[in-house]
Amino acid sequence: EAGVAQSPRYKIIEKRQSVAFWCNPISGHATLYWYQQILGQGPKLLIQFQNNGVVDDSQLPKDRFSAERLKGVDSTLKIQPAKLEDSAVYLCASGGPGGRPYNEQFFGPGTRLTVL
Amino acid sequence: EDQVTQSPEALRLQEGESSSLNCSYTVSGLRGLFWYRQDPGKGPEFLFTLYSAGEEKEKERLKATLTKKESFLHITAPKPEDSATYLCAVQARSRLGGFKTIFGAGTRLFVKA
């Protein structure tokens, strides 16, 4: 079974530039999560989708971050404009079939973003 | 405020030296507690889910237990390949009516041969 795919794996941008990350979840998984993991910290949930709909985005900085999940499959996370403090690894995860909210999550390898 | 705290921050063991990692939590409406392993440069890898106090799960040298306020990850006779960061996460009801996931900062485990 293929895992969660993310791209790009690494990205370096200047502050105030824009950047987008892409995630393809495990086939059939209804729930998709985006996390931000700053070095030395645990992942912080940014947004959670159930199929096409947003379940939780309470920690998403909506003035600069946006996310969408097209047709309940792939998802993109965008930052516009980026700040220095956005330097982190952005992890995508997907949850099992049936949409049970407390399923275990399967993570992709992450995108390491450096903002200069 | 919902919170997950892991201790110690780092743990150095000799091969074969058993120990435990702690995860204490303060959340309302706990739905499940998860343990993950994270290797450098990789995403977290699922280990266990615990749903209710008194529950235990085992996998090779790892055993996870859950009480009403904390969870322990016991490592028996660790090997160097067990070296990683171990993350604890809880899933709890959010104010928006759905569920949210909160991770602890992790415990970095180093096992020396």
pLDDT at B29: 82
Tell if the CB–CB gap between A56 and B51 is shorter than 8 Å.
no
Phi, psi of B96 (to 5 degrees): -85, 0
pLDDT tens-place values along chain A, 116 residues long: 689 999 999 999 999 999 999 999 999 888 899 999 999 999 999 999 988 888 889 899 999 999 999 888 999 999 999 999 999 999 999 987 654 556 789 999 999 999 99
pLDDT at A101: 54
Tell if the CB–CB gap between B34 and A109 is shorter than 8 Å.
no
Contact B67, B80 (CB under 8 A): no
Which chain A positions have a beta carbon within 8 Å of B101's beta carbon? 33, 45, 48, 105
E strands, chain A, are: 5-7, 10-13, 19-24, 31-37, 44-50, 53-56, 65-69, 75-79, 88-95, 105-107, 111-115
Computed over every residue of chain B, the mean pLDDT equals: 93
Question: If you average pLDDT over residues B46-68, what whole number do you get?
Answer: 94
Q: Kindly tell me if the per-residue pLDDT of B58 is higher than 90.
A: yes
| Preceding omega of A43 cis (within 30 degrees of 0) | no
- Helix (H) / strand (E) element for B73: namely strand B70-75
Helix (H/G/I), strand (E/B), else coil: B77: coil
Indicate which of A56, A58, A59, A90 best probes the interface with B, i.e. most B CBs within 10 Å of its own CB: A56
Indicate which of B101, B102, B103 best probes the interface with A, i.e. most A CBs within 10 Å of its own CB: B101
pLDDT at A98: 54
Contact B103, B89 (CB under 8 A): yes
pLDDT at B76: 98
Length of chain A: 116
pLDDT band at B28 (very low <50, low <70, confident <90, very high): confident
What is the CA angle B36-B38-B44, rounded to 5?
Answer: 60
pLDDT at A52: 82
List the beta bridge partners of residue B65.
Answer: B56, B72
DSSP state of B93: E
pLDDT at B62: 97
pLDDT at B39: 96
Contact B5, B58 (CB under 8 A): no
